[in-house]
Structure 1
């Protein structure tokens, strides 16, 4: 038992937790691409782009199946997750990019868990309105701003239709989806219409942390704190979504498909790769019964599970949870193939906002690797940049 005198107590003045470190000046010397920056227009702005009957009936953002926000955990009531502020317009985005020495940004929808709206047609309507707002009012402002096509992933036909409607626009560099504990992993074959559309336009898919804290998620039953909900449930759900893609033959059917994992973590990668390889080699007999393998007549995966991770997946870096021991940090970066797999992200405007400092201040990350993490890997992943 830890004595009262030796117990660790962290005290912060309200507001300190959201104050970012001064941005390292080396950021001005290197190209920086932010692969996860949350853009959230006002609801009344989006409503202008919604079709009827949604425009006149939905006077505020529709409630979703989980409404728990981190206000209490952060200590700033009323902020939700926008503790750094809210980027509502292209001008807001450009100002923040300049402040953070960022050259180019790939916007993620800043809405609260869009795939968790109970009514699927509403998801489709919100997604289309958000995409149209980008096309008409955001992309024309600057070539520094790129976006992801928001889709209704729970309706594969609607998701595919939205991709085909907008994929011709060069400022859309990928497609946005979510991993959450209350909806089916997007790796299963029922979502092939979405992957057919992605393949037509050679677009990568992002899977961003979504609903994971509500009571219907098995990983969240019994949770009481934001750390449990965000820190534990999201990683477990992320691994489940990745496993569904790999083990159900997604990349054998769509060998060019690339996937960016956003806010799911990555320090668990070595264990996941070793564990999946070991279990697959011992238990490969049921692979032939998944839908894609029944369709193709193949009995096994074409590669080891770890090979699919290295070839098809990339990971946004936020939150960068640095070990206190720099030797351990260096080992983890190597074990996780960071030089190849990591794309820098700030996750603005969340409390865990990561400036680029950790990349350029770490003496065992050579400059070539810094360049790859800050921009090179993003340019390789997104073929439209």
Structure 2
């Protein structure tokens, strides 16, 4: 195993440029890559039965965006394999040219969405081993996420405790679409383990699809489906706050990834207004908006692009510069180039917060 990056040097400063922390890089397995990390029983099970996911399709998405792998056309490695499967190509196309000091892996492989909870636990464990051994060890600038079968809290806690303290893992990953809102107490053991081990929760868009993605039913177009993803993130933020998760676990850190962020100020204002009238139903210790300033962080991709760029700057001001972390969503088609995504002026202090310092406060980089 390669040694972890020496934090005494913190983030390298190459040619006067800030070393960037990218909080959303998607790895993808080459054909059969997970087999060596599964027991014989589960290799045979996946071969014979596949992944028993929620949703109308067993092992594919419902829109053409899933082919080819939601990815940029230039992200296919020259040596073969899917986008995100070749560490050397990730290094050449992302880490080196953009001076990425750390990149947090966010695997979207469906292992934690299986309705067969034993299968979900086996797949999560295999994916965690796969990330650590095939991505982080050959490239220590990358860091893995601990995937857990969230609907089995006991197995989730076991997986967290197995990986806690391992320098190769930077966070625990959950999806924004879950069987129940994450504030429900069935999920609290996961949050207790996260806080106890000083690990943040990376709440990435997506997850189980056991019902229509929209409160109004099934959308007709991919454009609609893509947009309503952000609604699941807003719902989870409200659930975590109103159901008292942050009162029970005041040091818990949750990063909302790939769900946008311009909605956050409006949600804060609305929750405060409603809570002022109905606070006896949810007896929180503080106003809802205050938890959004202490326990939630927002990854920037997909960045909102208003006609007047300074309007976006005002959104940053409302949310708080200390709440924002940069993410690229590499290698997906809506990748956000760190040099082009933000079309307004930032001070050097603001750049440091956005591109690295906030992430250093949130993630576990050993």
Question: Given the two structures, how large is their TM-score scaled by the length of structure 2?
Answer: 0.86
Among 339, 349, 352, the residue aligned to 1:357: 339
RMSD (Å) for aligned C-alpha atoms:
2.3
Listed as ranges, the gaps of 5+ residues in structure 2 are: 1-13, 77-82
Q: Look up the match of 1:167.
A: 164
The separation in 2 between residues aligned to 1:214 and 1:82, in whole angstroms, is 25
Structure 1 equivalent of residue 311 of structure 2: 328
Structure 1 residue 264 corresponds to structure 2 residue 251: no
Relative distance call for 1:28 and 1:347 in structure 2 (3 A) is farther
Distance 2:91 2:170 in 1: 18
| Cα separation, 1, equivalents of 2:61 and 2:285 | 42
Structure number with bigger Rg: 1
- Mapping of residues 225-264 of structure 1, within 5 Å: 225-231=221-227, 233-264=228-259
Report the count of equivalent residues.
Answer: 339
Gaps of 5+ in 1: 1-25, 288-299
Task: Measure the CA separation in 1 of the matches of 2:27 and 2:275.
Answer: 40
Alignment pair present for 1:184 and 2:172: no
Q: Does 1:277 align with 2:258?
A: no
Q: CA offset at residue 173 of structure 1?
A: 1.3
Secondary structure of 1:210's counterpart equals strand
1:1-385 matches, within 5 Å, as 29-59=17-47, 62=51, 64-66=53-55, 67-71=60-64, 78-83=67-72, 84-85=75-76, 86-96=83-93, 97-111=95-109, 113-180=110-177, 183-211=179-207, 215-219=211-215, 221-231=217-227, 233-287=228-282, 300-337=283-320, 339-358=321-340, 362-384=343-365
Contact conserved, 1:36 with 1:262, CA < 8 A, in 2? yes
Whole-Å separation in 1 of the counterparts to 2:69 and 2:221: 15
- Partner of 2:71: helix, strand, or coil? coil
SS of 2:224's equivalent? Answer: helix
Tell me if structure 2 keeps the 8 A contact 1:150–1:177.
Answer: yes
Alignment CA distance shift 1:134-1:211 (3 Å): closer
